[in-house]
């Protein structure tokens, strides 16, 4: 049997990799992909906690899994909107490089 | 046995994630993301969350990867190899490593959980989702609808039905 700690460490490592991608990448598409990695890290943690802490304390049976379903829903909405914005950005500025999208900077 | 499966799943997940942040080719990055997401689905299976694993494969593996590939094809992909990482990547690496370290240490030092993972019953999940979580469920559907309409409005070509914008020549 795998300890809960291993799943939590997996989630922490995945979140760190996603954070690196968000901070270091310059293409908007790759930044969105890295955000997906971070959301997945959160989901792994939620589902691991839901599975191991089932019925312990105030923790209800399926709360973690249902919150993970909502995270997946919001991630789907976020990806759709993000790529619509990226397409619009590309049409207006001719690039998806976030370093060159500086029209909100003063 | 379970530990061996977990190690395989973790290698898939972490390896795919490293591929996403390391490769120079955006299409390869999308395929690496698919690998990582399928690894996460395997982790859900190990945690007895079969429904979540199915949802993960259908929504992430199917829909989101397709949307990503469409976005890559609709923008100019010849530009991508030149714009991979920016100059602050050592700082980003330091920050990410520090955050992972802090999170890992917090999990490590937390009181150990001795419970076993349990296999829940599907019908209980549905009952909980449609009674206790009914209102958030409806709000989630509303969020999806708003995001859908917003995405269509943002991504639509601007000069289709807006004759008043014809005089502005700055738009592509």
Cross-chain CB nearest to B33 (options A10, A33, A81): A33
B49 lies within 8 A of chain A by CB: yes
What is the domain class of A4-93 according to CATH?
A: mainly alpha
Provide the domain limits for residue B8: 1-79
Tokens of B140: 């989630």
ipTM value, please give it: 0.88
Does residue B91 fall inside a structural domain? no
Which of A46, A62, A85 would best serve as a mutation to test chain B binding (most B beta carbons within 10 A)? Answer: A62
**B79 has a chain A CB within 8 A of its CB:** yes
* Cα–Cα dist B25/A104, whole Å: 28
Please indicate, yes or no, whether residues B9 and B75 belong to a single structural domain of this protein: yes
Q: What is the mean pLDDT of residues A3-16?
A: 92
Residue ending a domain, choose from B48, B64, B79: B79
Within 8 A by CB and 6+ apart from B125, the residues are A62, A65, A66, B51
| pLDDT for B160 beyond 60 | no
Question: Could you give the C-alpha distances from B115 to A16, B70, B80, B122, B156, in angstroms and in order?
Answer: 27, 44, 48, 21, 52
CA distances from B132 to A63, A65, B7 (A): 9, 13, 36
| CB-based contact B143:A75 (threshold 8 Å) | no
CA-closest candidate to residue B172, choices A14, A23, A89: A89
* Residue B97 φ/ψ region, left for φ over 0, alpha for ψ in the -120 to 50 degree band, beta for the rest: alpha
pLDDT at B103 over 90: yes
CB spacing of B47 vs A5 below 8 angstroms: no
Number of domains observed in the structure of chain B: 2
Predicted confidence (pLDDT) at residue B105 exceeds the cutoff of 50: yes
- Tell me whether residue B128 is in a domain: yes
B2-45 pLDDT, tens digit each: 889 999 999 999 999 999 988 888 888 899 999 999 999 999 99
Place B166 in a pLDDT band, splitting at 50, 70 and 90.
Answer: very low
Phi, psi of A25, deg, nearest 5: -80, 155
Chain A, chain B: beta-carbon pairs less than 8 Å apart:
258
Alpha-carbon torsion (A66, A70, A71, A73), positive or negative: positive
Give the model's confidence band at A20: pLDDT under 50 very low, under 70 low, under 90 confident, else very high: very high
> How much is the average pLDDT of A11-18?
94
Partnered with residue A97 across adjacent β-strands are: A27
Residues B65, B127: one domain? Answer: no
Q: Mean per-residue pLDDT for B84-102? A: 87
Domain's final residue, options B20, B50, B79? B79
Q: Chain A neighbours among B 117-136 (CB < 8 Å)? A: 117-118, 120, 124-125, 128-129, 132-133, 136
Taking an 8 Å cut-off on Cβ atoms, the answer to whether A73 and B133 are in contact is: no
Percentage with pLDDT > 90 across chain A: 45
**Among the ranges A1-5, A102-106, B30-34, B156-160, which has the highest mean pLDDT value?**
B30-34
Query: What predicted TM-score, i.e. pTM, was given to this entire model?
Result: 0.86
Indicate whether B164 pLDDT > 70: no
A31-56 tens-digit pLDDT: 999 999 999 999 999 998 888 877 66
- Quote the minimal CA–CA distance from A105 to chain B in Å: 18
Instruction: Give the mean model confidence (pLDDT) for residues A44-72.
Output: 82
* Cross-chain CB nearest to B52 (options A54, A68, A77): A68
Domain end position, chosen among B59, B79, B99: B79
* B150 in a structural domain: yes
Instruction: List chain A residues with CB under 8 Å of B128.
Output: 60-63, 66
Structure tokens that stand for B124 in this block: 């209980």
Task: Specify the CATH number for the domain of residue B14.
Answer: 1.20.120.1200
Specify if B92 maps to a domain.
Answer: no
Structure confidence by residue, pLDDT tens digits, B36-88: 999 999 999 998 888 899 999 998 888 888 888 888 888 765 666 666 677 78
Q: Give yes or no for A38 touching B (CB within 8 A).
A: no
DSSP B79: G
């Amino acid at each position: 049997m795998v300890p809960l700690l291993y799943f939590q460490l997996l989630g922490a490592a995945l979140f760190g990799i996603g954070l690196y991608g968000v901070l270091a990448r310059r293409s908007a598409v790759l930044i969105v992909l890295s955000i997906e990695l971070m959301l997945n890290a959160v989901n792994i943690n939620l589902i691991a906690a839901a599975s191991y802490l089932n019925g312990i304390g105030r923790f209800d049976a399926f709360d973690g899994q249902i919150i993970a379903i909502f995270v997946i829903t919001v991630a789907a909405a976020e990806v759709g909107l993000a790529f619509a914005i990226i397409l619009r950005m590309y049409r207006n500025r001719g690039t998806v490089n976030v370093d060159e999208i500086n029209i909100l900077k003063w | 046995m379970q530990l061996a499966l977990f190690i395989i799943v973790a290698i898939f997940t972490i390896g795919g994630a490293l591929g996403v942040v390391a490769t120079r080719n955006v299409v390869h990055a999308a395929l690496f993301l698919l690998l990582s997401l399928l690894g996460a689905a395997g982790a859900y299976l190990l945690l007895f969350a079969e429904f979540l694993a199915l949802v993960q494969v259908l929504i992430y593996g199917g829909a989101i990867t397709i949307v990503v590939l469409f976005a890559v094809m609709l923008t100019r992909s010849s530009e991508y190899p030149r714009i991979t990482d920016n100059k602050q990547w050592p700082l980003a690496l330091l920050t990410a490593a520090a955050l992972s370290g802090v999170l890992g240490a917090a999990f490590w030092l937390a009181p150990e959980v001795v419970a076993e993972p349990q296999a829940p019953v599907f019908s209980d999940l549905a009952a909980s989702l449609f009674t206790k979580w009914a209102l958030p469920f409806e709000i989630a559907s509303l969020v999806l609808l708003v995001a859908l309409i917003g995405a269509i409005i943002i991504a639509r070509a601007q000069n289709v039905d807006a004759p008043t914008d014809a005089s502005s020549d700055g738009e592509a």
